[in-house]
Amino acid sequence: MTGDTEPSNKTEPLQCEYKFRDQYGVKGKGEQCAEDAHSDGKCILHINFPANKDSPEYEDIAAKKAEKIREKAEKDDFYFEGAILPAIDFSERSVLGFVFVDATIGGVASFTGATFKGRAWFLQAIFEGDALFDSATFEGRVWFTGATFKENASFERVTFQEDVLFDEATIKWDAFFQRASINGTADFRRADIAGRASFGETTIGRDVWFVEARVAGDILFYKAIIDGSVIFDDAALDGKIWFDEARIRGDVWFRYARIGGYLSIPSKGAQKSEVGGEINFRETRFLNLTAEEQACRQAKEYWKDQGDREQESYYSYREMDARRRAKVWYARYPELMFKYYFGYGVSSHVVLRSFLLTMFLFAGFYWVFGALLTIGELLMCLRFSFLTIWIPAYGIESAKPAMSIQTIAFIEAIIGAFLWPALIAVIGRRYLGG
């Protein structure tokens, strides 16, 4: 009919079905991706690769994804939330508003020498290949929260002008931060690192958090400069930990941590480290007894230099107990007496408890057996027991010639010969600066 519009066979392209996170960070509850769908209801960036990497279809998808990445980069559009990408290379680029939340990079991700202006988000990102950020600069805060690095994560000589967060991240190989500069906090809480974590010669402006983290390899803070504290509370650390020549303004805490290797925080010598706060191994569990002895010796020397006798005594006690437990069984178990009865000569409450227990226990023996001097009253027995501990010869000379009383007094005198010097030693160490 004249004037009628011919029907069109042309159909509008379908919109990508992928939905971003909402303002509260909930997946799939935000806005829908505005790109046209390529296949399976998803745009070229959000569709999965074919299973067969050698197939022509895989090569075609990879080429189209790479082309789309180039197009977005030319427009300074670096929003890749939820994208599934091949290997990428943003080396030496200046990037603004970088969003890689929930993204997957199938190959090497190279950001060497890049400059990230503003904040950068890598939350829940997956790096299938090496992640290379060497010599990059992050001008804003950076989130790697929950990210997974299936190969090495390299951040050598990187500059972080604000905080960097790796909390709950998984790094299945090594993490390198040598000679990096972190002006804010370095947060690795509940992170899982299967290899080494190296911070050699790194400068960190605030605290370093490894609370509840797990690190299977060695941790190196060699010559690091940290203006805050280093916190490893409740962490599981299987390798060696080195703080040689490090300078730490705050504390070094390993409370309730599990340490499998050696821990080096030397307070003397050429490798001396400087700690401005406190070194705390309270309730720390060492799997290697030699490592525990060494670490507690270093902590003892540190607290001795600080003039804190209580802390010095605590780590001296743990040092000697670790040394005892490392011995063969026929030497280890007899020496339990020195731990529980004499407190290794450094634990005041153990020695005082043993002194009072011995005095009352032997006073009871004298009272029950009687025939002590001419008086069997309990108070006199306590007096006699006290004097026998304090002046061993007194009890032996003053006891009646009954064999049982002389034997008991002789045993108490031998115990007293060791006990009262231990009591004097702990009092002198704690209160008199001995």
- Residue 380: its pLDDT value, please? 79
**Residue 275 or residue 405, greater confidence:** 275
- Helix 348-369 to helix 403-431 angle (10° resolution) is 160
Query: Contact 218/194 with Cβ under 8 angstroms?
Result: no
What is the domain partition of the chain in residue ranges? 211-326, 343-431
Residue 395 pLDDT grade (very low, low, confident, very high; cuts 50, 70, 90): low
At residue 350, what are phi and psi to the nearest 5 degrees?
Answer: -70, -45
- Residue 39: its pLDDT value, please? 86
Q: For the segment 228-262, what is each residue's pLDDT rounded down to a tens digit?
A: 999 999 999 999 999 999 999 999 999 999 999 99
Q: Is pLDDT above 80 for 103?
A: yes
Q: Is pLDDT above 90 for 187?
A: yes
Residue 374 pLDDT grade (very low, low, confident, very high; cuts 50, 70, 90): very low
Q: Is pLDDT above 70 for 376?
A: no
And the tokens for 350? 């153990």
Residues 1-7 have a mean pLDDT of 50
Q: For the segment 404-422, what is each residue's pLDDT rounded down to a tens digit?
A: 677 888 888 888 888 877 7
Going by the DSSP 8-state scheme, the letter that residue 411 receives in this structure is H
What is the per-residue burial (b if ≥16 Cβ within 10 Å, else e) of 144-179? bbbbbbbbbbbbbbbbbbbbbbbbbbbbbbbbbbbb
Q: Is pLDDT above 70 for 10?
A: no
- Residue 336: its pLDDT value, please? 82
Q: Which of 112, 109, 119 is nearest to 140 (CA)?
A: 119
Q: Is pLDDT above 90 for 113?
A: yes
Q: For the segment 129-165, what is each residue's pLDDT rounded down to a tens digit?
A: 999 999 999 999 999 999 999 999 999 999 999 999 9
Q: For the segment 69-92, what is each residue's pLDDT rounded down to a tens digit?
A: 999 999 999 999 999 999 999 999
Q: How far apart are CA 140 and CA 288, in angstroms?
A: 41
Residues 330-352 have a mean pLDDT of 80
Please provide the average confidence, as pLDDT, over all residues in the chain: 88
Which amino acid makes up residue 258? Answer: R
Give the bridge partners for 297, in sequence order: none
